[in-house]
Amino acid sequence: MYSAEGRMFDELSRILRQLDGQKITVTPDIAVDEDGYIDRECPHDDCMFEFKVHNQDWREIVRDEEVFCPFCGHAADAQKWWTTEQIEKIQEQALAQVKGNINQAMRRDAEAFNRRQRKGSFITMKMKVERGFREIVLPASAAEPMRLKLTCEECSCRFAAIGSAFFCPSCGHNSADRVFRQSLNAIRASLDAIPAIRSGISDADASENTIRLLTEAGLQNVVMAFQRFAEAHYQRQPDPIRVRRNAFQNLSEGSQLWRTAFGKGFDDHLSTSELTELTRLFQQRHLLAHREGIVDADYISRSGDLTYREGQRLVIRESVVRMALQLVEKLSVGMAADLAPSD
């Protein structure tokens, strides 16, 4: 009986031994959108920023050894930038390949077993393995075209992102002024689209939820755009001191750093009331990013905002994001003047 069982599943055993520790090779079918871009995703766990790179430039300009995240600047080799959706599709393809190999092996074992049965025996056994359905794994679908499209002024690589992008994925170049302006323009364009969203989505709840998410993302992107702008220009001083990560998300700390480096602080460019308002907006961004918008005692203390109680959730209106845009633009103009060489 033992030897018969061994012969019965010889082909399956052979396939399973091959699969044990074997590397499954899958050639992914990655979709290209109508403008020729492919989806990429930052592999850093704290970022996972989604962006696009023109497919031709990914093949001809981007280096296999090093790719840069447009948002956080993280660097990794070219094989690390699959999106979560693309990885799921690749895993599905690999699983389908393994299941197909096992199914074929079991059918061959069944056919061999059946051939060994003696005709006219008192007891005859037959084994059958159903083919099952053929799995067709669709390629990862491309997301809708990104709103902010950029071409690196250093290496000419074309890439795209939603909201803000600071570093070229090919060479890592950071064009702080140009990207800052384009990022704010993209945020403003997303706010301009609110009437179309409200009229284009028939479900009122879905419409308002979409608008809420868009405005909250807009506020967060304003703060991030300012942070990247300030960080990039802060490094222009001859011997910049090392600062903690995200220091310019704290306006008080950022102002002191700027004053030490360039002789003026943020209060030289914004009035007291404007700086107080911008501080409140920056603190709201912090709540959205780290507490899902739920107000705590730290927020009330740091922002001075007494319109909320602990445990309430922030309500971010379009007007709030537009105010943040206006104040950040005004502050950036003053900071740019601080960088200009004196006569």
Task: Provide CB contacts within 8 A for 212, sequence distance 6+.
Answer: 316
**Element at 262 (helix H, strand E):** helix 251-262
Pairing of strands 67-68, 148-151: unpaired
- 70: nearest Cα among 200, 158, 134: 158
What is the reported pTM?
0.62
- 35: nearest Cα among 158, 157, 164, 170: 158
pLDDT at 135: 34
Sign, CA dihedral 271-276-282-285, equals negative
**3-state SS, residue 187:** helix
**3-state SS, residue 68:** strand
Separation of CA 208 from chain center = 24
The burial class, CB within 10 Å (0-12 / 13-18 / 19+), for 251 is: buried
Beta strands in 116-176 (DSSP E): 148-151, 158-161
Maximal C-alpha separation, the chain: 110
Residues 324 and 221: beta-carbon distance below 8 Å: no
The burial class, CB within 10 Å (0-12 / 13-18 / 19+), for 305 is: middle
Gyration radius from the chain CA atoms: 29
Q: Tell me how far apart the alpha carbons of residues 180 and 182 are, in angstroms, rounded to a whole number.
A: 6
* Buried residues in 24-59 as b, exposed as e (16+ CB within 10 A): eeeeeebbbbeeebbbbbbbbeeeebbbbbbbebbe
Return the residue matching tokens 């959730």.
313
Beta strands in 42-80 (DSSP E): 50-54, 67-68, 75-76
Task: Provide CB contacts within 8 A for 197, sequence distance 6+.
Answer: 207, 210, 211, 214
Task: Provide CB contacts within 8 A for 222, sequence distance 6+.
Answer: 184, 187, 281, 285, 321, 324, 325, 328
pLDDT at 115: 56
pLDDT at 201: 77
Return the residue matching tokens 């250093």.
154
What are the extents of the domains in the chain? 7-116+138-174, 179-339
Query: Mean pLDDT in each 10-residue stretch from start to end of the chain (343 residues)?
Result: 48 57 58 88 88 93 93 89 79 61 59 56 46 32 50 90 80 83 85 82 82 90 90 82 86 94 94 96 93 92 91 94 97 91 58
